[in-house]
Amino acid sequence: MTPLRTCRVCQGSVRQVLDLGRQPSANAFLPPAAVADEVFFHLAAGVCETCTLLQLMDETPSGLRYRDSYRYEASGSKGAQAHFARVAEHFLAEELTGKDAFIVEIGCNDGVMLDSVARAGVRHLGVEPAKGVAKLAEARGVTITNEFFGPSSAVDIRQLHGAADVIYGANTICSIADITGLMRGVNTLLSADGIFVFEEPYAGTVVTGRAFDQIYDEHVFYFSVRSVMVMAERFGFELVDVDHVAQHGGELRYTLARTGVRTPSPMVEKQRRVEMEADLTDSDMLQRWSTAVHDTRNDLVALLRGLRADGRRIAGYGAPAKATTVTNFCGIGPELLPFVCDSTPGKQGRLMPGSHIPIVSPDAFRDEYPEYVVLFAWNHADEIIAKEQAFRDLGNKWILYVPDVRII
Ligand code: DWN
Ligand code: ZN
C-alpha cells in the first residue's frame, strides 16, 4: 500500500482528485466467518499532471486480487454474452484469417469471448490467474494457462505457441499496475503486424458520466484516448483505432499496432478532440466532479434513511464490484439495506465486502418484493428491469444513482 508519487506510465506527478475513503478489495465477497480477516486500504483517484492518465493513488497488494476465490463471471449477463460473441466474430473475420492464426486473451475470465474462437477451431490461449473462472473457461473447451500475464509468461507463450496476431484484454489491462511489464510482454508476444486490443472503463464515463463506482482496487487505470496515445508511444506502439463499447456504462476499445505499421483511423483524432473539448482532466472539471460525487453520496444516504424511517422495505439488486465502492463510500450497511440479491451462485450466501450486507439469490427477492430497490448493477438496467417487470407492475420502485440519485 505504498502511496503513489509518480505516474505509472510517464513518471509525471499525480495529484489526488477524489477520495473514496477506507475500502476493502471490491470482489472479496466474504463467507460470514471471515469478517475478522478483512483487509482495507485507502481508495483515491488522482490525475497525472503530464500525461493526464486517471489512476489509483494506492494499490492493494496484488495477492489480494484475482485469487482462486474470485467470483465475477463475465458471462453473467445476456448483454455481455452477445457483446463478446460480436468481438470474437470481428477478430475471426478481420484478423484471424491466416492459416495458423493465433489470439491470446489476457484475463479471459470464464472464456466468454474465446468460446466463439475455440468453436471456430482457431488457435487461442486464455491467460487467467483466477483458478475458479479459469476452470469454467476450460470446461467450455477454451485453452488456458493459469497465471498472470507479464514479461516472463510472454516469453514462455511465444516459445510454446509462436507470435500472436491479436492480443486482447477486456477490463483487465486497467488492472495491471506494472504497465511497463505488460507492454514488454506485449512487445515480446505480438507478431510484427499484429494488434493489441483492449476495452476498458473510460475516464469520460467515470468523470463526466459520474460513474464513480467504477473506481475500486481492481481498476488501477481509467484510460482515455489522450493518455493511451502517450502510453502507446512510450513503448513503440501507436493508437490506430478507437471504438465505443456499450458495456459497463460506456467504455472505449483501443487498438494498438507497432508504430508505422497500420494507418490510424480518423476515429482516433475525432475522439481526442471530443476529450479536449470536454476538458476531461482539467482541474476545475475534476473539482466539480468530486463535489458531485459527494452530493450523490449525501442524496442516496438521505433517501435510504428517509425510506427506512417511513417503514419502507428496501434492498439492493446486484452485487457488482461497483457496489463495494458505493456502500463503503456512503456507509450503507445492513441496517439500511438488509440484503442484496445477485444471480452469481458463488456470491450467494456471502457478505458484501466491507458493508457486510448479506447476498441472497434473486428468488428470495421475488418471494417477497421489497418496495424500493437500489439497482447496483445499473449498467445492466435494461436487461434487469425487463426481466423483473413484475416487481414494477406491483408499484415497486428502482433507485438509481448514476449520474444522479433518482427513483424510477
Ligand atoms: O472490470 C470488471 C468487470 C468486467 O466486471 C471487473 N473488475 C469486475 C466486474 O465488475 P462488476 O462486478 O461491476 O460487473 P457487472 O457486470 O456490472 O456485475 C453485475 C452483477 O450483477 C453480477 O454480480 C451479476 C449480477 N446480475 C444479476 O444479479 N442479475 C447481473 C444481471 C444482468 C442480472 O440479471
Ligand atoms: Zn503520466
Nearest CA to ligand 1 atom 4: 171
CA atoms within 13 A on the CB side of 12: 18
The answer on pLDDT for 145 being more than 90 is yes
Whether 240 and 128 share a structural domain: yes
pLDDT at 61: 72
Question: 43 lies in a domain?
Answer: yes
Whether 335 and 242 share a structural domain: no
**Are 103 and 165 contacting, i.e. CB atoms less than 8 angstroms apart?**
yes
Q: Give me the CATH number covering residue 98.
A: 3.40.50.150
For residue 73 and ligand 1, the question of a CB distance below 6 A is answered with no
Q: Does this model's pTM top 0.75?
A: yes
Query: Cα of 23 to ligand 2 centre, how many Å?
Result: 25
Ligand lying closest to the C-alpha of residue 223: 2
pLDDT at 157: 98
Backbone angles phi, psi at 393, to 5 degrees: -60, -25
pLDDT at 367: 95
- Total domain count, the chain: 3
For residue 383 and ligand 1, the question of a CB distance below 6 A is answered with yes
CB atoms within 10 A of CB 306: 10
For residue 318 and ligand 1, the question of a CB distance below 6 A is answered with yes
**Domain end among 251, 277, 303:** 277
Whether 94 and 126 share a structural domain: yes
pLDDT at 5: 74
Whether 97 and 245 share a structural domain: yes
Whether 103 and 244 share a structural domain: yes
Nearest CA to ligand 1 atom 22: 320
The answer on pLDDT for 1 being more than 50 is no
> Residue 127's closest CA among 111, 105, 142?
105
Question: 182 lies in a domain?
Answer: yes
Whether 192 and 176 share a structural domain: yes
Beta bridge partners of 373: 315, 398
Whether 363 and 315 share a structural domain: yes
What percent of the chain has a predicted confidence (pLDDT) above 70?
97
Whether 355 and 313 share a structural domain: yes
Query: Residue 2: pLDDT band by 50, 70, 90 thresholds?
Result: very low
pLDDT tens track for 257-311: 999 999 999 999 999 999 999 988 899 999 999 999 999 999 999 999 999 999 9
**Are 136 and 110 contacting, i.e. CB atoms less than 8 angstroms apart?**
yes
Question: 71 lies in a domain?
Answer: no
Rg of the chain in Å (alpha carbons): 21
pLDDT tens track for 47-73: 999 999 999 999 877 666 666 667 788
> Residue 161's closest CA among 81, 248, 100, 70?
100
**Domain end among 259, 277, 295:** 277
**Domain end among 65, 88, 106:** 65
pLDDT tens track for 218-272: 999 999 999 999 999 999 999 999 999 999 999 999 999 999 999 999 999 999 9
Question: 9 lies in a domain?
Answer: no
For residue 379 and ligand 1, the question of a CB distance below 6 A is answered with yes
Q: Give me the CATH number covering residue 304.
A: 3.40.50.720
Nearest CA to ligand 1 atom 32: 77
pLDDT at 165: 98
Backbone angles phi, psi at 320, to 5 degrees: -70, 165
For residue 126 and ligand 1, the question of a CB distance below 6 A is answered with no
Query: Residue 4: pLDDT band by 50, 70, 90 thresholds?
Result: low
Q: What is the mean pLDDT of residues 183-203?
A: 98
Question: 324 lies in a domain?
Answer: yes
Question: 4 lies in a domain?
Answer: no
Whether 152 and 49 share a structural domain: no
Whether 170 and 214 share a structural domain: yes
Whether 238 and 103 share a structural domain: yes
Query: Cα of 366 to ligand 1 centre, how many Å?
Result: 19
Q: What is the chain's mean pLDDT, rounded?
A: 95
For residue 171 and ligand 1, the question of a CB distance below 6 A is answered with yes
Question: 264 lies in a domain?
Answer: yes
Whether 268 and 288 share a structural domain: no
Question: 339 lies in a domain?
Answer: yes
**Structural domain boundaries, residue 102:** 78-277
For residue 319 and ligand 1, the question of a CB distance below 6 A is answered with yes
